[in-house]
Chain A
Amino acid sequence: MQDLFTIAFIFQTFRITIPYLLPSIGAVYSEKGGVVNIALEGILLSGAFAATAGTYYTGNVLFGTLCGVVCGVLVALIHSVITITYKANQIVSGIAINILAFGVTKFFCKIIFNSSSNSARIPGLETLGLPFNPFLILCIIIIAVTYYVIYRTRFGLRLRAVGENPEAADSLGINVNRIRYIGVLISGALAGLGGAWLALDQHSFTDGMSAGRGYIALAAMIIGKWNPLGAAAACLLFGFAESFTLQFQDSGIPTQFIQMLPYVLTIIVLAGFIGKANPPKADGIPYEKKD
């Protein structure tokens, strides 16, 4: 066991955790406001592609990262318009956006890099010459800020209000749809940032590279009971489990069972076996303003 907690192992765990954590914290913003965002998977993917393209054309990883975030916000905007303004089904919209993102990224990968499955190699975060991983620092800041924003600020209170009881929030003069838009757009920005990490860490884009991480992020948020700290802890747990199987491939535990872990845990938590799962009451329900 003593070679388990080597520096390399710990960093590998963080590396794996980051792309779960960012969309997972994003999911908290979206769902606290009452919008289920399955599109996180597609946002992660398109964020990774935008970051790759941005870095490829400018050679600047910061600009690339910005492209990832902006792309994430734009895709989240599609989800918001469809589900908040037009009140269409949030699950179906999310799935369709994921299909769309898969197609669009491959399509433009083919156009830009002349291969629908791989981009050219791009520079990574090492070009910044920092002695630490900036994404790791960013993640810690984001977790702390999110906790503060959601539980200690006026915006956080409003976000929770429109997710719990939109009628009551509306009657107090809160613009329900606008708050929900902000929640979903923040989730897009964070998932886009997570996508940028995927691309910069791998130094390239490959088709479907989000590989279900958006769904795992959603699962982590549920296991963390819609709380940013809980979600972060669940992400770290998944990152640890995955890192563990990479480290000990001959441990006898088939990797597929580690892969199942987040999903099985989610089902158990939802069934109420580990305390009570307490989703926002209006989660997933479009708000119909009554005249």
Chain B
Amino acid sequence: MNKYLQYAIGPLLSVILSLLTGGVLIALIGQNPVDVYTRLFVDTLGNTYGIGQVLFKATPLILTGLSVAFAFRAGLFNIGAEGQLTIGAFASAWAGFTFTSLPWIALIPLCILTGFLAGAFWAAIAGFLKARFGSHEVINTIMLNFIALALVSYLVNNVYLVPATIHTPEISPHPELVRFDIMTGLFKGSPFNTSFIIAIAACFIMYYVIQKTPFGYKIKTLGYNKNAAEYARMNTGRLTVLSMAIAGGFAGIGGLNFVNGYKHYFELGFSDNAGYVGIAVALIARNNPFAIIFVAIFFGILEYGGLTVNTMVPKEIVTILQGVVILLIITLTEIFDRKFKLKKV
């Protein structure tokens, strides 16, 4: 069998089986699965508004997916994209409502940079703890997610609150990332915006850094075999912190979509679990930055599609599909990797 097909069969089968599982559930409550799925796909992909909504939902997932994938390449498991995304989004908003006098040409890069650095800093904590004390990044990133949430909740509720809301003040109009419907007239009414271009650019950057630079080579070495990296006199501690920081930076700019592109403020609970779904995105895409785009769009279809079928079945059907697809994928890839003797990516 073709090598690519061997890698793809697990993910593809998982998607099909999860849709079947969802179909059984839909049938159980007396609806026709074919009708529900038809509506789900037609309403999401059958018109430009739906497509705009899907791409809007996919944008942060691309970035959190990249975040998890980048850390994976260095042999690190970043469960912390959710926290890095939250901290980054808040930082972007903070820059946007603090430096209001700056023109867009300075403020847009500043929002991107603060988001990236804040996410990078948050992830680097876990990288440092691993490098310095050997404590495992999985538990630490999970803990940091909750700390990030509490910290940002404190900042929003006690420091930067707009009364009677759960969001910060609005950012200045200068760093708004323009919506495609305003710019082109396409995707009418959907919040799909130019942060999507930033997300796509990030995919190319990750590809370039990992595949074409000496730094990327070191990261891959660390990921494949830490002992080999140490034997080659690489500074593995520094590499660990840096890899986590870059991964966190990707997640950190995932908030631009909401803050600069859509609502123009930071709001608690904006993320919709994008950080956790990003883990699934990276896994299904097998850490390939370009495959991540398509997998993120698939999850975008599910997320927006839930809203379109809500009159027929509870929209939570898509949350169930997300959970099932992840469980199937980790199980099936394990089975097929053994069967075809594939190496881990």
Identify which of B147, B318, B334 contacts A87 (C-beta below 8 A). Answer: B334
Q: Mark A212-243, 1 if CB is under 8 A from B, else 0.
A: 10010011001000000000000000000000
Please determine whether B330 and A99 come into contact, CB atoms closer than 8 angstroms. no
Instruction: Report how far A257 CA is from B143 CA in the complex, Å.
Output: 14
Instruction: Report how far A260 CA is from B145 CA in the complex, Å.
Output: 10
A6 interface hit (Cβ, 8 Å): no
Interchain pairs with CB closer than 8 A, number: 132
* Residues 117 to 173 of chain B near chain A (Cβ within 8 Å): 129, 132-133, 135-136, 138-140, 142-144, 146-147, 150-151, 153-154, 157-158
Please determine whether A95 and B331 come into contact, CB atoms closer than 8 angstroms. no
Please determine whether B143 and A96 come into contact, CB atoms closer than 8 angstroms. no
Instruction: Report how far A259 CA is from B154 CA in the complex, Å.
Output: 10
Please determine whether A93 and B143 come into contact, CB atoms closer than 8 angstroms. no
Instruction: Report how far A212 CA is from B113 CA in the complex, Å.
Output: 31
A78 interface hit (Cβ, 8 Å): yes
Identify which of B135, B153, B320 contacts A104 (C-beta below 8 A). Answer: B320
B93 interface hit (Cβ, 8 Å): no
Neighbouring A residues of B138 by C-beta, 8 Å: 91, 284
Instruction: Report how far A88 CA is from B146 CA in the complex, Å.
Output: 25
B196 interface hit (Cβ, 8 Å): no
| Chain B contact patch, size range | 35 or more
Instruction: Report how far A254 CA is from B276 CA in the complex, Å.
Output: 27
Neighbouring B residues of A92 by C-beta, 8 Å: 279-280, 283, 326, 330
| Minimal Cβ-Cβ distance residue in A for B77 | A91
Please determine whether A256 and B150 come into contact, CB atoms closer than 8 angstroms. yes
Instruction: Report how far A277 CA is from B321 CA in the complex, Å.
Output: 38
Q: Mark A95-120, 1 if CB is under 8 A from B, else 0.
A: 11111111110110011000010000
Summarize B's interface: helix, strand, loop or mixed. Answer: helix
Identify which of A86, A99, A277 contacts B331 (C-beta below 8 A). Answer: A86
Instruction: Report how far A87 CA is from B139 CA in the complex, Å.
Output: 19
A249 interface hit (Cβ, 8 Å): no
Identify which of B147, B276, B315 contacts A99 (C-beta below 8 A). Answer: B276
Instruction: Report how far A97 CA is from B146 CA in the complex, Å.
Output: 19
| Minimal Cβ-Cβ distance residue in B for A103 | B319
Neighbouring A residues of B183 by C-beta, 8 Å: none
Please determine whether A212 and B331 come into contact, CB atoms closer than 8 angstroms. no
Instruction: Report how far A219 CA is from B146 CA in the complex, Å.
Output: 11
Please determine whether A259 and B323 come into contact, CB atoms closer than 8 angstroms. no
B335 interface hit (Cβ, 8 Å): yes
Question: 11 pairs across A/B with beta carbons < 8 Å?
Answer: A82-B331, A86-B331, A87-B334, A92-B280, A97-B323, A103-B323, A257-B150, A260-B146, A270-B129, A271-B129, A271-B133
Top 8 closest A-B pairs, CB basis? A100-B323, A103-B319, A96-B326, A256-B154, A88-B330, A270-B135, A103-B320, A110-B314
Q: Tell me the A residues contacting B by CB distance below 8 Å.
A: 38, 78, 82, 86-89, 91-93, 95-104, 106-107, 110-111, 116, 212, 215, 218-219, 222, 254, 256-257, 259-260, 263-264, 266-267, 270-272, 277, 284
Q: A101-B323, A212-B146, A266-B143 are in contact. List 15 more A-B contacts (CB 8 A).
A: A38-B142, A86-B334, A88-B330, A88-B333, A89-B330, A92-B326, A96-B327, A97-B327, A99-B273, A99-B326, A102-B316, A219-B143, A264-B143, A267-B129, A270-B135
